[in-house]
Amino acid sequence: MTRTLPLALALTLLCGCNTVRQVEIRTVPEDGAEITVDDKPIGVSPVLYGFDFSDPEARYKVSAVKEGYVRTTKLVYQLTIDAFAERNGAVEGKEFIEVKLSEDEVWTNTVPSDAANVWVELEVSSDMDEDQVWDVLIDTLTRYYPELDNQDNQAGYIASKDKLKSLRRGPTKTVQVKNQFICSITSRNPLIYKMQVISKIDDNGEVSDYPRIFKETEGLIPDLRKRLVAE
């Protein structure tokens, strides 16, 4: 008894001091997300982190951010890790948890563009006059934006109607994205047109610029450049 009691006590104390659980944080459906724990960056998933449960009631806020997905946050405490281990079993002797990423349809339906909310200028080939350019503008624009809102040949101004889409950001939020193409003459000698795509997001009444445009319209300005600008 004099030997076993101190040994048992020592083992108990040793176990009691080991309150940090090394847990691998993974993201699904794919890894490569930036991970923060309580708003402190810890790396890119999959990443190992030591959760200190010296306070058995401790809770940690684990957040994951990756392009194409909305920011996802998960509360982690001891029961979270225990339940996940029981449900999935140990893999390669590691404890791990998963943060499920939710798709951002705004991202997946758009592409970056230099013309998003920024004027882009095209100097027209010298062998084309304004009437010829106008015909090319109408023909090319209506392939991407079938409906026009305003057109003035004399002023060289043309604007498409808004292209609107309601897109999901995660499992519960829906936002509205608007694109509109506008173009006007900025110089007649040489003949130069400026153009841009007004791209906005309406998030429950809060409207902001968005630096991307709908995928199906990304070829518009390259096509205009090909048809109007001398090589």
What are 62-76's pLDDT values in tens digits? 999 999 999 999 999
Q: Using pLDDT thresholds of 50, 70 and 90, give the confidence band for residue 89.
A: low
Q: Using pLDDT thresholds of 50, 70 and 90, give the confidence band for residue 17.
A: low
What are 167-225's pLDDT values in tens digits? 999 888 999 999 999 999 999 999 999 999 999 999 999 999 999 999 999 999 999 99
Phi-psi region of 164 (alpha: psi -120 to 50; beta: other; left: phi over 0): beta
**Can you tell me whether residue 14 is helix, strand or coil?**
helix
Using the predicted structure, report yes or no on whether residue 7 has a pLDDT greater than 90: no
Place of tokens 């013309």: 115
* CA-based nearest residue to 148, from 163, 127, 131: 163
Using the predicted structure, report yes or no on whether residue 4 has a pLDDT greater than 50: no
Calpha distance 184→105 (Å, rounded): 32
| Higher per-residue confidence, 119 vs 96 | 119
Using the predicted structure, report yes or no on whether residue 84 has a pLDDT greater than 90: no
Calpha distance 32→26 (Å, rounded): 9
- The percent of residues in the chain predicted with pLDDT above 90, rounded, is 77
Using the predicted structure, report yes or no on whether residue 81 has a pLDDT greater than 80: yes
Write down the number of H helices and E strands in the chain.
Answer: 5, 18
* CA-based nearest residue to 142, from 120, 158, 155, 129: 158
Residue 95 is predicted with a pLDDT of: 87
Averaged pLDDT score across all residues of the chain: 89
Q: Catalogue all structural domains in the chain, each as residue range(s) with its CATH number.
A: 12-101 (2.60.40), 108-228 (3.30.530)
Calpha distance 142→228 (Å, rounded): 16
Kindly give the pairing relationship between strand 173-188 and strand 191-203. antiparallel
Residue 18 is predicted with a pLDDT of: 67
Residue 85 is predicted with a pLDDT of: 73
Using the predicted structure, report yes or no on whether residue 91 has a pLDDT greater than 60: no
Residue 99 is predicted with a pLDDT of: 94
